[in-house]
Amino acid sequence: MNIALGDSGLLLGLLGALAGAVTLALGTARRRPSLARAGNSYVWLVLAGAVVATLAMERALVTHDFTLRYVDNNDSTFTPLLYRVTAMWSDLAGSVLLWALVLAGYLVAMHLRYRRRGEDQVVAWAKVAGYGVAAFFFGLVLTVSNPFARVSGAVPTQGPGPNPLLQDRALVAFHPPLLYLGLVGFTVPFCLAVATLATGQLGDAWLAEARRWALVAWGFLTAGLVLGMWWSYQVLGWGGYWSWDPVENSALLPWLTSSAFLHSAMVQQRRGMLRVWASSLLLATFSLTILGTFFTRSGVLVSVHSFTVGGGVGPALLGFFALAVAASIGLLAWRGDQLHVPGSIRSAVSREGALLANNLLFAAFAVVVLLGTVFPLVVQAVNGSSVTVGGPFFDTMTMPIVVCLLFLMAVGPQLPWQGAAGDLVRRRLWWPTAVAAAVLVACAAAGLRGPWPLVVFGLGAFAGASALRQLALRLRRSGWRGLTGRGGGGMVAHLGLVVVAVAFAASHAYEHQGQLTLVAGKPASFEGHSLVLRGVQEVVTPGRTALVATIDVDGRPYHPAVQQFALSNQAVGSPAVRSTPAQDVYLALASVPGPGRGPVTVGVVVEPLVMWLWVGGLVLVLGAGLALWPRRPAKVPGGARAEPGTGREGAEDGGPRTAVAASSLPVSVATGAGPGA
């Protein structure tokens, strides 16, 4: 029954996507509103197919239906309910099904937002493009990556269960779905960009819509990345949270290019510039999500995060990536001259000049990460050699970029549009500069050493004080509403990024690692902390056996463990971590002789400010939410109202705003009115 339901759901989703694309394309091209409306309605079949297939898979996992090969490989009668549910996205075929489900949800959201604008050409062709992407993924999951394939031979009565690493923390229920909501979410702005270029309706209003969708996806992707770092830190037992792993890099790449887009959109909406660049970033972001999916699911890269190799999934994804890149380049080449508008940046010392430099730095960051990730593949393809590009390369190449970005985060918000006199800039930067100087003096007095971390601390204080200054001005002018909108939310996100950068630099530069062999009752010390082993206990539960050590650190008990699952030969460490605002003390068992009071070898890591990584990530996501929050326009002389962020809200922004053509979407879209505004 589960197989029949699952395959029926997948087939329904595929047929709905194909029928919707063809019907909506014909109705739009031939100006037949009734046919276009019928094409719009197929989105519900796509969602229904995805939901039916997902429910069938979850039912199979929860009820241990071992007639399915996927259940046989990823379930067991010992697996707790939570990890049976999350097993749907714990392996290759199920993860592609989750991708299709999330994509169907985004298509429905796009349909609902534009349901009253069915005759608009850009919206219609964007939906056609969305149907096309959905058809590819439903076809993928129905053919070369079908989770409903039947086992061959006799039906087994037991399976190995999910990967043991995926059964140690409840974060498996949150990190992958959030990551998918981010990565898949970039499909909508991609479709809007494709539709705008294809139709030639190149007004600027579509960019405001694309920016809102991109901001939603960026917020989810940020949350997914931060939770992934936390999960790695809590589970893998190495004391770190980011290793420049190829799969980590694959998720970071679209975050970098989408961050650049969100900043370039400000210049485009304010000055009418960077239209080609903004469109290119949107198209590149979607293409990088497909490339990252290929890296993760093709087996070409070895990673603890990657899935097992699955048949023709890799070639199919690579072909779709090539198609997306070719279509993007072709559309940009076709419409590039029309996108270009006269005008230039009059002064490098201006808001638009800083944002352009910011974009170039984000692009450079993405290029470094991409080259470091694909270089081993290129070398292997050329001469068959196996090389590894690790943390030292990425740290060396990206640290100068991060430093420059922090500087621009501090200076950029204080610069007026189109430039200003030097005394105005100096006056605005006086307080942030004083805060940065005070922080550097405090660091020197505390005995902190090392050029890179001190530079990050100083520039972090500079950028943080700059963001706080802007927020203070907005709060004084508009009350709590000053925190919302593009300007307020952006400054909150800047604060979050500053906190992440400072915590990252401190935890790397001043980390202390070591191994201690502890004898029961005999104190040992490490970096000012006293450790005493109290004993080792064997804990047996259905499906797993754990050896749990009890170690007092400064009088507080820690319980690092090693777990052995009944149906797996892989022993999984479970570190013990205690976080404070100042530092983390992290214990992981390196060797355990067995239950009793014998000696135990334990890895000890002391890292400062790690907690602030998670706090900074939360502030980043909060900033994205505030930026999406609709804000009431401020009054301007004459009784009219100015759009938030246009510079008419106060003298701080300065400079006139270039008029924006709104020819590509209806007025309600351009002004943010209507559903979801």
pLDDT digits (tens, 9 = 90+) for 94-112: 999 999 999 999 999 999 9
Tokens of residue 426, six digits = 């100096």
Residue 663: band (very low, low, confident or very high) from pLDDT cuts 50, 70, 90: very low
Residues 299-338: tens digit of each pLDDT: 666 655 555 555 678 899 999 999 999 999 999 999 877 7
Tell me the average pLDDT across 432-449.
93
Residue 463: band (very low, low, confident or very high) from pLDDT cuts 50, 70, 90: very high
pLDDT value at position 431?
Answer: 92
Per-residue CA distances from 102 to 44, 182, 255, 288 (Å)? 13, 10, 18, 18
Residue 198 CA to residue 201 CA, distance in Å, equals 8
- Tell me, letter by letter, the H, E, C secondary structure of 180-238: HHHHHHCHHHHHHHHHHHHHCCCCCHHHHHHHHHHHHHHHHHHHHHHHHHHHHHHHCCC
DSSP-derived secondary structure letter, 520: B
Q: Which of 103-107, 284-288, 653-657 has the lowest mean pLDDT?
A: 653-657
Residue 440 has pLDDT above 70, yes or no: yes
pTM of the model: 0.90
State the alpha helices, DSSP H only, in 384-418: 391-411
Residue 436: band (very low, low, confident or very high) from pLDDT cuts 50, 70, 90: very high
Residue 654: band (very low, low, confident or very high) from pLDDT cuts 50, 70, 90: very low
Pick the CATH number of 1-167 from 1.10.20, 1.20.120, 1.10.1060, 1.25.10: 1.20.120
Residues 507-527: tens digit of each pLDDT: 999 999 999 999 888 999 999
Which carries the bigger pLDDT value, residue 232 or residue 651? 232
* β-pair partners for 545: 540, 564
Residue 403 has pLDDT above 90, yes or no: yes
Q: State what percent of residues in the chain have pLDDT above 90.
A: 58
Residue 676 has pLDDT above 70, yes or no: no
Residue 159 CA to residue 71 CA, distance in Å, equals 8
Per-residue CA distances from 354 to 266, 277, 349 (Å)? 11, 15, 7
Residues 347-360: tens digit of each pLDDT: 677 888 888 899 99
Which carries the bigger pLDDT value, residue 619 or residue 248? 619
Residue 632: band (very low, low, confident or very high) from pLDDT cuts 50, 70, 90: low
Angle at 196 between CA 32 and CA 332, to 5 degrees: 135
Q: Exposed, middle or buried: residue 396 (CB in 10 Å: 0-12, 13-18, 19+)?
A: exposed
Give the residue extent of every domain in the chain.
1-167, 402-414+427-510+621-670, 512-608
Which carries the bigger pLDDT value, residue 282 or residue 634? 282
Residue 235: band (very low, low, confident or very high) from pLDDT cuts 50, 70, 90: confident
- H or E stretch covering 16: helix 2-29
pLDDT value at position 258?
Answer: 96
Which carries the bigger pLDDT value, residue 232 or residue 257? 257
Which carries the bigger pLDDT value, residue 485 or residue 186? 186
Mean of per-residue pLDDT scores for the chain: 86
